[in-house]
Amino acid sequence: MTAPLKNSDPIIVDVALGERAYDIVIGRGVLQSLGARIAALRPGVRTAVVTDRTVARHWLEPAEASLAAAGIPTSRIVVEEGEISKTYAGLEKVSEALIAAMIERNDLVVALGGGVVGDLAGFAAAILRRGVDFVQVPTSLLAQVDSSVGGKTGINSPQGKNLLGAFHQPVLVIADTAVLDTLSPRQFRAGYAEVAKYGVLGDAAFFTWLEKNHADIFKGGSAREHAIATSCRAKAGVVSRDERETGERALLNLGHTFGHALEAATGFSDRLFHGEGVAIGMVLAAEFSAKLGMIGQADAARVERHLAEAGLPTHLQDIAGFAQEGLADADALMALMAQDKKVKRGRLAFILLEAIGCAVVAKDVEPSLVRDFLKEKLGEKPARKA
């Protein structure tokens, strides 16, 4: 693993997909270069910026100013914040607005926002006129290290997370680390779960570095940029080898089978952010791996300890309204997991650990083992807060 960079130059991470390769531009203040980079990439293009109300208050005008300075005509589409927009209705609103804005096949959609906006705008671009290119400008830590890279777009169904979507790669990703300064502490922590995930699943040295440096990542500076760049390189490498998740890319779903079920059980609400669900899901995956004898209990405890030290929820009982709908019912959670995209012919597949830094796809996991494990975890008493 390389040492953190000391200079202020943007870090460029290449996503190597042949003719569809694209750059991830990482650095403080790189949003100012959005217009110039788009103009160089697509001379004469028009754009439509899709964002949410909260992001718009901080970053829509700077984005539009950058586009205007490069002579790029643009229109704006503003949606409500949160998973409420990642629905059939949200997709219809964005799609109709793009059509009304006369966005054509050779134009660009710009997704300015977190994971919800990126998924929603990317999916709308994928289906608009049978495919319009788009640019990701992620404004949350989670989006910068995960959802903006790799081309997964989509919306939620009432029956499950991300069940409707398409693979549609962006043509450029602009990850301005300065925009993260406007995130709430809870939003930043939720995004950090995805950073830690890369260490847990495939880079033991990075995980050890995170254990020592996570406080500096929260403060900002070179440690933050190093963590983001390392995460993006990890994901870019996996995506370039397995774009459509036929093998290795499934490992990036560590913690997500459990986490997505928990998100569905809480109604895709602010009771549980996506990254928080992933954090709990990673702990459950580590503990389930230990229960199956794949890793030692000490390693599972190490994963839980680090995420807890970062301020993330690590137990089912940490979820707001734990005793409410579905959360305290192992069978209900099993039913939600049965809708997971990794289910094959009704058989559950989990991403489990053979060591910190070594995740594997475990196919045909016996459902009774998962159910018994969940019942055990649901029966635990909530930890006392200091």
Q: Catalytic positions, please?
A: 130, 152, 194, 235, 245, 249, 253, 256, 260, 274
CA–CA gap between residue 15 and residue 22 (Å, rounded): 5
Residue whose entry in the numeric block shows the structure tokens 């979507």: 165
Place of tokens 């009432």: 158
- Compute how many other C-beta atoms are within 10 angstroms of the C-beta atom of residue 294: 18
Whether the CB-CB separation of 279 and 313 falls below 8 Å is answered with: yes
**DSSP string computed for 23-70:** EEEEETTGGGGHHHHHHHHSTT--EEEEEEHHHIIIIIHHHHHHHHHT
Residue whose entry in the numeric block shows the structure tokens 């950073």:
195
Whether residue 32 contacts residue 63, with contact meaning beta carbons closer than 8 Å, is answered with no
Q: Are 288 and 282 in contact (CB under 8 A)?
A: no
Long-range contacts of range 14-18, CB-CB < 8 Å, 24 or more positions apart?
Answer: 14/236, 15/149, 15/150, 15/169, 15/236, 15/239, 15/240, 16/236, 16/240, 17/169, 17/239, 17/240, 17/243
Strands 160-167 and 108-113: unpaired
| CA–CA distance, 247 with 245 (Å, rounded to integer) | 5
CA-CA distance, 123 to 93, in Å (whole number)?
12
Q: How many CA atoms lie within 13 A of 46 on its CB side?
A: 12
**DSSP states along 333-357:** HHHHHTTSTT-BTTBEEEEEEEETT
Cα(103)–Cα(87) distance, integer angstroms: 22
* Spatial contact of 37 and 172, defined as CB atoms under 8 Å apart: yes
CA gap 235, 223 in Å, rounded:
18
Residue that the structure tokens 């409420």 belong to? 84
